[in-house]
A and B are shown apart, each in its own frame.
Chain A
Amino acid sequence: MGKNTIVPFGPQHPVLPEPVHLDLELQDEKVVKAVPSIGYVHRGLEKLVEKRGFQEYVYVAERVCGICSFGHGWGYSKAVEGLMEIEVPKRAQYLRTIWHELSRLHSHLLWAGLGADGLGFESLFMQSWRLRETILDMIEQTTGGRVIFSVCKVGGVRRDISDADLKDIVSRLGKMKKDIDGLVSLFLEDETIHARLKGVGTVTLQEAKELGCVGPTARGSGLAQDYRLGDEGGAYKELGFTPVLETDGDCFARAKVRLREIYQSVDLIKACVENIPAGDIAVPVKGFPPAAEYFARVEQPRGEALYYVKGNKTKNLERFRLRTPTNANLAVLVKMLQGCDLADVPQIILTIDPCISCCER
């Protein structure tokens, strides 16, 4: 055994679309310790609530992250609605669910692409992103934006989706099925992918519980934790829904969870379109948030996110706190990297689907 070497990983690294830095302590090729250090993207968004009005802040909340953008806007709105005791119209809840699931689709396809690229499987990366463009098209058709939608607001949503557009979404999702099948079967059956992902970065159910994992990372280890089940805002409870679970806990299981969730999201969108009630899409918001506090949670593509708001009877909120899924998954990442090969590090980092700008806010 040679003496330990420390290899810096990031912030500018070809597999990382975002800057994160890890100090990897190596013993030969094995990682014995990984120390993440963050702050490259820290902006201090939570403090901006003191400068922006509570309704205006939705725009900032959406820009916490460009991938889970809609979820952040929704989570923030939900927290403020809870604080001000605003009842959101049913139709708005369904519309939010549709957009949220569309953004889950685009996020998972984006992840599939990045994951494949990290493996060196470039054509699969291109295929995933080609499919993702169809989803982005639907999003653009209904909201006007591609990655930042700006349709959520406190009290409801800003735009309605016409019946024709809803039908169009369903038919386009139907046409996509063949492509998705192809992508998923390639992912699940390809030998090279098995060789790279199976048995790598394993997290047992017990570890997942002890390390506070959230989202697909937790579900890949068999931890049935999906906040859509406990959701008080969207249409999930009415539509019925069981979280996708895998039990192996390795990189492959986490990939499988995300791929199966693609189908689940498609089904949820179809169910939403079938059951969407008519009615208002927003209620007017009067007055300022009371001097109280409220916690709200949303299941983001990457896991559960928590939003906390505290009002003080003025236009500005006193405190806003956001605990994002990547923030909760940092601990498990540190554990996963211990004992892995240096060459597997990018893969393991990618399978928690890190979103650094979420994480650092």
Chain B
Amino acid sequence: MKQEIIQVPSSDILARAAQFKKDGYRLVQILCTRIPEGYELTYSFDRDYIMTNMRVIVPGEGSVLSVTGQFWYAFVWENEIHDLFGLKVECIAPEVDYGGHFFQLAKETPWHELANAKPPAAAFKVNMRSGLGIDATVKPAAPNTGAAAVKPAVPNTGASAAKPAEGGK
């Protein structure tokens, strides 16, 4: 399959999208990749099973205009990009602008960090078998801050305190 990628300045997105629409293309997807310079957006258009890709580089603090004016269904991916990457997409059609509530995640914008940057010692370790220690291990940040705030005298009771309570059920 031919893999054609056209580089486009970010100011041209709307004009290009309008042209693609006029030519009878279908928007297949919008891909976002985090790169050191910011974000790399790839819009894939398809006509008769041949795909053409339009690539835009958006600087780290920048934002991008929505193509929902041309391709209404792009809202799925634009909201996704906003929620997963933290890239601001402006002017999404108002009836489908979720304003950052499309995905509800444990971690805000999980894709914002660069892919190859070493993660800061794994955000939280999944405790594979901690028996019934429920509340203490649910929220990644909770065990230390939450439990300690409630019972400052006994900082580590979270897991052990939950056990007898559950055993009774």
Find chain B residues with CB under 8 A from A334 CB: 96
The answer, among B42, B73, B105, for a CB contact under 8 Å with A328, is B73
B75's closest neighbor in chain A, by CB? A331
Judge whether B103 and A212 touch: CB under 8 Å: no
A329 → chain B closest CB, angstroms: 9
Judge whether A230 and B75 touch: CB under 8 Å: no
Chain B stretch 30-65: residues in CB contact (< 8 A) with chain A: 31, 33, 42, 44, 48-51, 53
Stretch at the interface among A129-137, A197-205, A255-263, A315-323: A315-323
Judge whether A212 and B71 touch: CB under 8 Å: yes
B131 → chain A closest CB, angstroms: 24
Judge whether B3 and A293 touch: CB under 8 Å: yes
Judge whether A306 and B28 touch: CB under 8 Å: yes
| Interface status of B116 (Cβ within 8 A of chain A) | yes
A119 → chain B closest CB, angstroms: 28
Number of cross-chain contacts by CB at 8 Å: 78
| Interface status of A227 (Cβ within 8 A of chain B) | yes
Judge whether B26 and A212 touch: CB under 8 Å: yes
Number of interface residues of B (CB under 8 A): 33
A323 to B101, CA, bound (A): 20
Judge whether B110 and A44 touch: CB under 8 Å: yes
| Interface status of A22 (Cβ within 8 A of chain B) | no
Find chain A residues with CB under 8 A from B137 CB: none
The answer, among A38, A230, A308, for a CB contact under 8 Å with B102, is A38
Find chain B residues with CB under 8 A from A319 CB: 33, 115
Judge whether A232 and B115 touch: CB under 8 Å: no
Chain B stretch 118-152: residues in CB contact (< 8 A) with chain A: none
The answer, among A50, A209, A232, A310, for a CB contact under 8 Å with B1, is A232
A328 to B115, CA, bound (A): 26
Judge whether B111 and A47 touch: CB under 8 Å: yes
A318 to B33, CA, bound (A): 9
**Interface-central residue, A211, A227, A293, by most chain B CB under 10 Å:** A293
A328 to B26, CA, bound (A): 11
A318's closest neighbor in chain B, by CB? B115
The answer, among A211, A227, A323, for a CB contact under 8 Å with B72, is A211
Judge whether A312 and B76 touch: CB under 8 Å: no
A323 to B16, CA, bound (A): 22
Find chain B residues with CB under 8 A from A304 CB: 28
Find chain A residues with CB under 8 A from B42 CB: 308
B87 → chain A closest CB, angstroms: 15
B119 → chain A closest CB, angstroms: 9
The answer, among B27, B31, B49, B101, for a CB contact under 8 Å with A308, is B31
| Interface status of B104 (Cβ within 8 A of chain A) | yes
Judge whether B3 and A295 touch: CB under 8 Å: yes
B161 → chain A closest CB, angstroms: 29
| Interface status of B10 (Cβ within 8 A of chain A) | no
Judge whether A327 and B115 touch: CB under 8 Å: no
Judge whether A211 and B73 touch: CB under 8 Å: yes
| Interface status of A330 (Cβ within 8 A of chain B) | yes
| Shortest beta-carbon contacts, A-B, top 6 | A230-B49, A331-B73, A323-B29, A212-B73, A39-B103, A39-B104
Besides A42-B103, A323-B77, A334-B96, 15 new A-B residue pairs in contact (Cβ under 8 A), listed by A number: A33-B95, A37-B101, A38-B102, A38-B103, A227-B49, A230-B49, A294-B3, A295-B1, A295-B3, A297-B51, A323-B29, A328-B73, A328-B76, A331-B73, A332-B73
Query: Could you show 23 A-B contacts with beta carbons less than 8 Å apart?
Result: A37-B102, A39-B104, A47-B110, A47-B111, A50-B115, A50-B116, A211-B73, A212-B27, A212-B28, A229-B49, A232-B1, A293-B3, A295-B51, A310-B33, A319-B115, A321-B29, A323-B28, A327-B76, A327-B77, A328-B29, A328-B73, A328-B76, A331-B75
